[in-house]
Amino acid sequence: MVGVLEGFATIAIIVAVGWLLADRRVLDESAQVNLSRLAFHVASPALLLTVMQRTSLDAVLSANLVTSLISFATVVGVYLVVARIRWAGGSLGSRLIGGLSAAYVNAGNLGIPIALYVLGDVAWVAPTLLMQLLIITPIAMALFDSDARGERPTLGRSLRRMLGNPITLGAVAGLLIAVLDVHLPRVVAAPIDLLGAMAVPSMLIAFGISLRRGPRPAAGHTAGHVWTLVALKVALMPVVALGVGLALGLRGQALFAVVVTAALPTAQNIFTYAVRYRREVNLARDAIFVSTFVSVPVIVGIAALFHAFAGV
């Protein structure tokens, strides 16, 4: 359990730095936007390239990957149905932010330490990371770009948007390097690693600024929407992952891994996307903030149950 608490504490401290900088008026809303732009256009693509080129494809192409994909699709589907009933209207971008907030897990800066300390191996979180980076993110980016331009999404336009999006390009470049077994010279790899290291701090500091300068989280008329997203993320998604994993024959540590991964909170990436495309910024921020706190006892409870009944 120490790994779980360390992962959450690291995030909380960096977010607090952003909050303090905003409170002392060192940084303001323009800094929040600029940090998000830096993360979106430069740091995140570099980080994704680094992560993907070091990910073993043999470790991720498994039932774990299928379970993650089905769990994601199921929760997004449930959200879209609920949103159509309770929050009619809204743009495609707004629905995308809601769907991603409900199902896109923090598999990077939280998932990796939790996989290492709770699951015992970072490889357990790799399938979800791969699914989100190479399947979900390119599709979402293409749809966001179409929505921002007021265009009707088509296959041709979506493919062009995917190939022109920095997030997608970074992930695809990393995958190609891994598949082709290319070894980048140190003079090229070192700057990429350094740029990638800015991604998570930039996103978290921007998030902290938003918490200080924006409205109180999960307050007012959006509270019901936020708590619906949190319930889908940290309650429904692990249950779906458990059912799908059992149906696919996963047992023991493999099943434990997919359930814990599904219970991770909403990723900070979604806040960056919301700022970049100016869609539901406060909703994304609040879903991330609340789900992060709620997921702590949920993950601890899942670990206790598996330890007691499955001997994991």
Mean pLDDT over 130-152 rounds to 82
Tokens of 86: 């309770």
Q: Where are the alpha helices (DSSP H) in 24-62?
A: 29-38, 44-53, 57-60
- Rounded percentage of the chain residues whose pLDDT exceeds 70: 87
The Cα 132–Cα 264 span in angstroms is: 13
**First-to-final CA distance of the chain:** 13
User: Over the range 82-100, which residues count as b (16 or more CB within 10 Å of their CB) and which as e?
Assistant: bbeeeeeeeebbbbbbbbb
**Euclidean distance between CA atoms 38 and 164, whole angstroms:** 17
- Give CA torsion, residues 16, 18, 19, 21, to 10 deg: 120
Q: Per DSSP, what are the bridge partners of residue 105?
A: 266
Q: Could you report the per-residue pLDDT of 55-114, keeping only the tens digit for each?
A: 666 655 678 889 999 999 999 999 999 999 998 777 888 999 999 999 999 886 677 667
pLDDT tens for 203-230 read: 889 888 887 877 677 766 788 999 999 9
Confidence band for 27, pLDDT divided at 50, 70 and 90: very high
Reply yes or no on whether the pLDDT at 190 is more than 60: yes
What pLDDT, on the 0 to 100 scale, is given for residue 312? 66
pLDDT tens per residue across span 228-241: 999 999 999 999 99
For position 117, what pLDDT does the model report?
65
For the chain, list the domains and their CATH numbers: 2-309 (1.20.1530.20)
Residue 7 has pLDDT above 70, yes or no: no
| pLDDT tens by residue, 177-189 | 888 888 899 999 9
